[in-house]
Amino acid sequence: MLKDNRWTTHIVLPVIAALLILFPLLTGNKYYQRTITTLAIAVVMTSGFRLVALTGQLSIAQAAFMGVGAYCSTLLIMKLGWNTWICFFLAGFAAALVALIVGFITLRIKEIYFAIATLALNELFRLIWVEWDTLFGGAAGIVNIPSPAPILGIPLGSVVSFYYIAVFLLFSITVVMVRIERSRIGLIFSSIREFDTLAASLGVNLMWEKVKAFMIACFFAGMAGAFFAHLQHYISPVDFTLMDSVMFLLYGVVGGVGSVWGPAVGCTIMIFIPVALRLIPNYNPVVEPLIFGGILILVMRFCPDGLVGLFQGLVSSWKKTGPQKGEKEHVAA
C-alpha cells in the first residue's frame, strides 16, 4: 500500500519546493538549470505513467501523448497565431481527448489489451507525423518554434524562465498526485488495482475510473509536450518515439510506482547514469540500452516495488524490530 505519511508530504515536499524555487538565485549556472528543467519534464511524464499504473494498467505511449500536445500547441501557435498560454492548456486537452477515445476502446477488458494498444498507438502517431508532412513537417519536423508569450510584460525565453515553467508543471502534477492519493479517487484506484472484481461489485465503474486516470496522465503529458516544443524550439517525430515511452516506464519502475517519490527518484538516478557514463573515455553509447535493460530486469527481479519501495521496506522493518535487536529478531521470526 501507499506508505507516504503526512510528514513527507507536509515537510519534505515544501522544503524541496522551496529549494527548487530558490535554486536559480543560488547559482547562475545555466547548465544546471537546464538539466533540472529536463529532469522536471521527465518526472512529470513518469508521474503520468505512475498514475495509470495506480489503476493497475501499463501505458507505454506516454511519449506519444507528449507529442500530441507538442504538435497541437505548435501548430495552433504557428499556423493560426493563437496565444501560447491558451495553446498550452489546449495541448493538454487534446492529449486527454485522444486518451479518452483510446481508453474507451481498450480499457473495457482487464489485462493486457490496453498495454499492447498503447504500444501500437505510439507507432501509429509516429507514422502519422512522418507521413503527413504538409501539416506535421514529416521526418524533418517543425523548426523555429517561438518562445512563450510574455506574462505581465515579462519576456519569456531565457533559461531561467523555462526553468520556472518546468518547476511549476512539476509542482502541479505533484500536488495532483498527492491530492488524488489522499482522496476517494485514490482509494478507488487502489481498489481496482488490488481486486477489481470486488471493486466492481461495490459499484466502481472500472472502465471509467481507468479512463479517468489515463486522461489526467495524458493531460499533463500534453502540457509537458507543449512546453518541450517551446524549450527546444524544434520538434520532430524522433522526440516522441516508443523508446522514449519505454524510458518513462523504466524511470517509473526503477523509482517504484508505489510512492509519489518514485518518479522523482527513478528519473534522477536513471538520467544521471548515462551522464556519468559519458565521462568514461572511449565510451560507446550503444552500451546504454544494455545497461538500462539489465537494470530493468534486476529491479523487477529483486525489488519489484522499486528503489523507493525497497527503502520504505527497510525503514519499516527497522522501525518494527528496532536498531538494537535487528538481526536476532529476524532469525527468531
Q: Is 143 helix (H, G, I), strand (E, B) or coil?
A: strand
The one-letter amino acid code at 8 reads: T
Q: In this chain, which of 187, 268, 273, 288 binds another protein, going by CB under 8 A?
A: 288
Query: What residues between 86 and 105 interact with another protein by CB under 8 A?
Result: 102, 105
Residues within window 192-221 making contact with another protein, judged by CB under 8 A: 197
Q: How many residues bind another protein (CB under 8 A)?
A: 43
Of the candidate residues 128, 176, 178, 303, the single one contacting another protein (CB under 8 A):
128
* H/E run at residue 13: helix 13-26
What distance in Å separates the CA atoms of residue 69 and residue 227, rounded to the nearest whole number? 9
CA pair distance 67, 134, nearest whole angstrom: 17
Q: Are 140 and 236 in contact (CB under 8 A)?
A: yes
Instruction: Give whichever of 49 and 227 is closer to another protein, judged by the CB atom.
Output: 49
Of 225 and 252, which CB lies nearer to another protein in the complex structure?
A: 252
**How crowded is the C-beta side of 299, counted as CA atoms within 13 Å?**
23
156 to 195, contacts with another protein by CB under 8 A?
A: none
Half-sphere exposure at residue 263, Cβ-oriented, CA atoms within 13 angstroms: 24
Q: How far apart are CA 190 and CA 54, in angstroms?
A: 6
- Residue 9: which of 220, 255, 264 has the closest Cα? 264
Q: Is 273 in the site for another protein (CB under 8 A)?
A: no
Where does this chain touch another protein (CB under 8 A) — which range of 11-19, 150-158, 285-293, 320-328? 285-293
Q: How far is CA 133 from its chain centroid?
A: 28
Report the distance separating Cα 284 and Cα 269, nearest Å.
20
Contact positions with another protein (CB under 8 A) in 230-269: 246, 249-250, 253
Q: How many CA atoms lie within 13 A of 143 on its CB side?
A: 2
11 binds another protein (CB under 8 A): no
Closest CB 252 distance from another protein, rounded Å: 10
Which of 2, 17, 97, 130 touches another protein by CB under 8 A?
Answer: 130
Candidates 10-18, 155-163, 170-178, 296-304 — which segment interacts with another protein by CB under 8 A?
A: 296-304
Find the binder of another protein among 293, 318, 325, 329 (CB under 8 A). 293
- Tell me how crowded residue 77 is: count the other CB atoms within 10 A of its CB: 24
- Minimum Å distance from CB 101 to another protein? 9
Task: State which of residues 33, 59, 84, 106 lies at the interface with another protein (CB under 8 A).
Answer: 106
74: phi then psi, degrees, rounded to nearest 5: -60, -45
Candidate list 5, 134, 144, 284; residue touching another protein; CB under 8 A: 284
CB nearer to another protein: pick between 123 and 194: 123
Of 7-15, 83-91, 217-225, 291-299, the segment contacting another protein by CB under 8 A is 291-299
Q: How far apart are the first and last CA of the chain?
A: 23
- Applying CB under 8 A, among 127, 140, 151, 198 the residue interacting with another protein is 127
Nearer to another protein, 79 or 108 (CB): 108
For the range 262-265, what are the long-range contacts, defined as Cβ-Cβ under 8 Å and sequence gap of 24 or more?
Answer: 262/46, 262/50, 262/306, 262/307, 262/308, 262/309, 263/43, 263/46, 263/47, 263/49, 263/50, 264/43, 265/306, 265/307, 265/308
Report CA Rg, the chain: 21
> Whole-number minimum distance, CB 131 to another protein, in Å?
5
Pick the closer one to another protein by CB: 138 or 157.
Answer: 138
Is residue 301 within the footprint of another protein (CB under 8 A)? yes
Residues that bind another protein (CB under 8 A): 56, 58, 102, 105-106, 108-113, 115-117, 119-121, 123-124, 127-128, 130-131, 197, 246, 249-250, 253, 284, 286-290, 292-297, 300-301, 304
